[in-house]
Structure 1
Amino acid sequence: MTTEEKIKKSETRIFKAVFPNTTNHYDTLFGGTAMQLMDETAFITATRFSRQQMVTVSSDKIDFKKPIPAGTIVELYGYVTHVGNTSLKVRVDIFVEEMYTNFREKAVSGEFTFVAINEDKKPIKIE
């Protein structure tokens, strides 16, 4: 399978409902919760691409463009943007959707770097 085919096949989409227990006093999704969901989505994407043990080594700039209100649906979309020797980058976008209309917009985006590791937790080549 080519790298391009692996990238396409590893795209990950996760949907979540935003409930009050995940929101702050402004009734919007906690930034830390958004980042946790993004890292999880990125991890799944990286693992689906490589089928190896992967660990997060960094998160690049995360842009919070729009607040995510309670009572909405979010889609987390992860996709590989770069493949190196032992590392790869995954971009994750969060789209917010109103539950009872067709309104949808991008709310958050960021990029995460992962490294493939062996059983001794040492970096190894991505196959």
Structure 2
Amino acid sequence: MEKLPQSQQPQHVFSNYIEEKVRRSETRIFKAVFPDLTNHYDTLFGGTAMQMMDEVAFITATRFTRLPVVTIASDRIEFKKPIPAGTIVELVGKVVKIGNTSLDVRVDIYVESMYAEEREKAISGTFTFVAIDKERRPISVLANSPLPHSGDKKE
């Protein structure tokens, strides 16, 4: 079956495909905050939180593109609430913007008590990734897409 150029395909086909990729690439990881991850205030060290966030963002970007990706930027990491030792955190990564060769992943960290149902958003930030080829040159983030692609795709 011949594939129509994207400009001749119904727009909803492309939109539905992208929405499904975003949904399927969402990444959730839980971690216990033990004392070895904390600073002198007995709260999660900010640098450790950023490392965890970049890892979740990388996994999300890789699951979305199924291509090699590299982090090129992080934007406005907001530390809204301290995360004490002895809590559980959930890191949630979701693709929030899609360009031609780059995409943005939003990562939120939620903190919850180990022994109660309390849960709050504690840290948020956005990470930008570029898809690369074997020569480490930028390529389309939709290069593995079964749909034809061209130009800049934004969401």
Equivalent in 11, 18, 36 of residue 33 of structure 2: 18
Q: Which has the higher strand share?
A: 1
**Structure 2, gaps ≥5 residues long:** 1-15, 143-155
Equivalent in 2, 5, 8 of residue 23 of structure 2: 8
Equivalent in 95, 99, 105 of residue 120 of structure 2: 105
CA offset at residue 95 of structure 1?
Answer: 0.1
2:58 corresponds in structure 1 to 43
CA offset at residue 44 of structure 1?
Answer: 0.1
CA offset at residue 102 of structure 1?
Answer: 0.4
Counterpart CA distance in 2 for 1:5 and 1:67 is: 34
Correspondence 1:109-120 to 2 at 5 A: 109-120=124-135
**Structure 1, gaps ≥5 residues long:** none
Q: How many residues align?
A: 127
Counterpart CA distance in 1 for 2:37 and 2:17 is: 39
Q: CA RMSD in A?
A: 0.7
Identity of aligned residues (%): 69
TM-score after normalising by structure 1: 0.99
Equivalent in 43, 58, 71 of residue 73 of structure 2: 58
Deviating above 2 A after TM superposition, structure 1's stretches of 4 or more consecutive aligned residues are none
